[in-house]
Amino acid sequence: MPTVKEFVTPLKPTWCPGCGNFGMWEALKRALSELGWEKNEFAVIWGIGCHGNGADFLDVQGMHALHGRALPPATALRLTRPDLQIIVEVGDGDSYGLGLGHFIHTARRNPRMTVITHDNQIYGLTTGQASPTTDHLMPTVSTPGGVLEQPVNPIGLAIAEDASFVARGFAGDIPHLTELYKAAFTHPGLALVDVFQPCVTWNRLDTFQWFRERVYKLEAPEWDPTDRSAAFELSMTAFREMHCSPETCRVPIGIFYRRDGVVTYEAGVPAASVPGWTRAEHPRDVSALVDRLR
Ligand code: SF4
C-alpha cells in the first residue's frame, strides 16, 4: 500500500508558490494512501489547465485528456475496466466551459467515478481570463469592465441533474478535503467534489483569506445531506458577491447531497461487467512495449 511519498514523481511541481493546487495535491495523496489503494487499482484522468500539470507530479496510471474532454475517456474507461476506481481531475474553465455538456450528461448517467474540480474562478494557465465561475462584475484581463454574466453554479447544476454525491471543498483545509475525497472515492456512483482552489497569481478577489473568513462546514446533525431540496436551495445562496462581508456572506463546504443505491450507468451495460481486454479474441501482451515507453 503506497505511502504519500510514493505517489510523488521526481518532477518538481511548476505551480506558482502558494497556489491552491498544492493543497489539493496533498489531500489527494493522503486520501489515496489512507484508503490503501494499490497503484494498479485506480486511474486518474486529467483535463487541461494548471491543475492538469498534476499529471506529471502524481505517480499513478492515467491519461491527460483534451480541454473539456476528460469525462468521455473516463466514461469509456468505466465501461471497459470495471475493476478500476476512476478519478477525474478537471478545472472550472475546463469542465464548466467547453466541457459543460459532458458534465451535465455524466451527472445524469451516474457512472461510478469521482470528478474533482479545481475551481479557481479564473483561467490561470492562459493568464487570467474570465472563466465560467468568475464572480459577477469581477474585472479580468478579458473583461476589464467586469464580467456581465452570472457565474455557473456547479453544485446546483449537479444536484439538478441528480448526481448522487455532490460536495464542495476548500484547498486551504487539507484535512477536511482529504476526508471529502475519501467519502467521494468510495461512493458507489458519480461523485462531484468542487474545490475552491485560490489562484494566487490571477484572482486577487477569491483569495485564501477571503475563503478562510467565510467557509463553514456542513455537519450532522445540523445538516442532512439526503435532503435534496434543502441541498439545492443551499447551493443557490449568495456566496460569490465580491463585496459581501464575512458576516453576511458565508460559504458552506462539505457534502451537500448524497444518495446511495442509485443505479449506475454501467449496470445497464452487461458487457461492462468484465474487463474489456478479457473479451479480446487474441489478447496481446503489451508489457514489453509499456516498459520500453517508461
Ligand atoms: Fe496556480 Fe494560478 Fe499559478 Fe495556475 S496561474 S499555477 S492556478 S496560482
pLDDT in tens, 215-235: 999 999 999 999 999 999 999
Q: Is the CB of 204 under 6 A from ligand 1?
A: no
213 φ/ψ angles, rounded to the nearest 5 degrees: -80, -10
Note the pLDDT tens digit of each residue in 242-286.
Answer: 667 888 888 999 999 999 999 999 999 998 999 988 888 888 888
d(CA 268, CA 270): 6
Q: Is the CB of 21 under 6 A from ligand 1?
A: yes
Q: What is the pLDDT of residue 172?
A: 98
Q: Is the CB of 153 under 6 A from ligand 1?
A: no
Q: What is the pLDDT of residue 55?
A: 95
Q: Is the CB of 120 under 6 A from ligand 1?
A: yes
Ligand 1 mean position to 131 CA, how many Å?
Answer: 14
Q: Is the CB of 200 under 6 A from ligand 1?
A: yes
pTM across the whole model: 0.95
Hey, which of 12, 14, 15, 46 would you mutate to test ligand 1's pocket, going by the most ligand atoms within 8 Å of its Cβ?
Answer: 15
Ligand 1 mean position to 175 CA, how many Å?
Answer: 22
